[in-house]
Amino acid sequence: MKMKITETVLRDAQQSLMATRMPQSDFEGALDLMDQAGYYAIECWGGATFDACLRYLSEDPWERLRTIKKHMKHTKLQMLLRGQNLLGYHHYSDDTVRRFVRAAVENGVDIIRIFDALNDLRNIRTAVEACNEAGGHAQGTICYTLSPIHDLELYVSLAKEIEEMGCASLCIKDMAGIMSPKECFDLVSAIKKAIKLPVFVHTHTTTGLAHMTYLKAAEAGADGIDTATACFSGGTSQPATQTMVYALEQMGISCGTDAAKLKEVNDFFTPVQKKFLADGTFDPYVLTTKTDVLTYQIPGGMLSNLVAQLKAQNAIDRLDEVLEETPRVRADLGYPPLVTPLSQMVGVQATVNVLLGQRYQNIGKEIKAYIHGEYGRAPGKLDETLMHKVLGDKAPIEGRYAETLEPEFPEAKKQLGSRAESDLDVLSYIAFPQQAEQYFAAREMRRAFVTPYSIEEVTE
């Protein structure tokens, strides 16, 4: 038996532990080594990396991707993409999605893991098709959540749809780390029976279930798991690569990795981790096991957001009420999985409901758009009263929201004019307008500083 190992230190691990603040200069020296470690893939792009590059690190995300690619002779590169939302928080036009996906593959991405927060697979189809057209590997994704309507039957039907759509593999994505070993065994077994695609399991160590869950995934015949090098593992990140390989290989499951190289990779990243621990970017609190996540069924990141929100409002004593209100709001909205952007939307609405003392007295703009169908089809039925309150007698949109959107690229290109040095700049601008502008300005400044001046010019 074999298990494919995807290393996440460059994307999910550092995103989950330290808000994606690792600059390229901190990991560039490890890339050749990582390429020799025998990973099936390295997840290194997408998710929050794109935004973080522009917003906090003043890096060109496309350049980062090309640099990583240059060092990879044996290892596939993986990115995470939010379907029609790309890397942002609203839906983009099909034209933008196609251009973005093509550019990602052209600049070095091999595998695109594509998900929709609502598991509305109409919202991943354009990205899947564009990925296939560009010669990439499209990995269709099921967001794992628990609710009265999310049962094995529903998940298996999603898996079949993902196979029919032309995906090359399937991922079960447990963003909250709530999938138990038994649930994982049952789910992987059912999906493996129903479809032929390789199945990858993605989870987080948040609740302490992950190592057990991965073992049961292996027993059920999963083809791949996501892990993070030891010093960036645990807590809200993934189980350690070294630990999982050690355990699996004793069971006769070959991971294809080189133990000595895996140690070298970890030795490289250990001082990087120490640096971020020392400056507070990496708060060791994220490493503690949070079983409350199992009680409340709220992802760890969402829980800390709720706490931060309430502290800012001087209302931390209302936390218990908000934690009880959150699942009620989720039920009213037809049980969306609590993943970006739905986790934020549901959390804010629950907080507002509690703090104002009256439910839905004030309804967020995004929640209104959701109820209007702009995020896609809700998994379950929406609360009738709430729907009526938002829509009046109007009906929610039935079709795919992106079909109502005009192409964005030509207009963005015109707006940017000479500030865009390439079509990739235009795509960065469409994805994150303010952050991209800020990055372009910083780039200009840096160039001005490294351009050698003659004495005359300086003194004038």
List interacting residues with Co ion (CB under 5 A): 12
Q: Which is nearer to Co ion, 12 or 223 (CB)?
A: 12
**389/383 Cα distance (integer angstroms):** 10
* Sequence-distant (≥ 6) Cβ neighbours of residue 87 within 8 angstroms: 46, 47, 48, 50, 51, 81, 431, 432
In the complex, minimum distance from the CB of residue 4 to Co ion, in angstroms, rounded to a whole number: 17
Nearest to 83 by CA among 34, 33, 142: 142
In the complex, minimum distance from the CB of residue 174 to Co ion, in angstroms, rounded to a whole number: 8
In the complex, minimum distance from the CB of residue 135 to Co ion, in angstroms, rounded to a whole number: 26
Q: Which is nearer to Co ion, 12 or 94 (CB)?
A: 12
In the bound state, the residue with its beta carbon closest to Co ion is 12
Rama region for 19: left / alpha / beta (φ>0; ψ in -120 to 50; rest) = left
In the complex, minimum distance from the CB of residue 239 to Co ion, in angstroms, rounded to a whole number: 12
Sign of CA dihedral 443, 445, 448, 450: negative
**406/402 Cα distance (integer angstroms):** 8
In the complex, minimum distance from the CB of residue 305 to Co ion, in angstroms, rounded to a whole number: 16
In the complex, minimum distance from the CB of residue 78 to Co ion, in angstroms, rounded to a whole number: 12
Angle, in degrees to the nearest 10, between helices 319-332 and 342-356: 120
- Burial-class residue 235 by CB neighbours within 10 Å (0-12, 13-18, 19+): buried
Q: Which is nearer to Co ion, 201 or 420 (CB)?
A: 201
Which stretches of 195-334 are DSSP H helices? 210-219, 241-250, 259-278, 292-296, 300-312, 319-332
Q: Which is nearer to Co ion, 12 or 59 (CB)?
A: 12
Give how far Cα 181 sits from Cα of 120, 202, 293, 301, Å.
Answer: 26, 13, 16, 22
**130/99 Cα distance (integer angstroms):** 8
In the complex, minimum distance from the CB of residue 401 to Co ion, in angstroms, rounded to a whole number: 25
Q: Which is nearer to Co ion, 12 or 408 (CB)?
A: 12
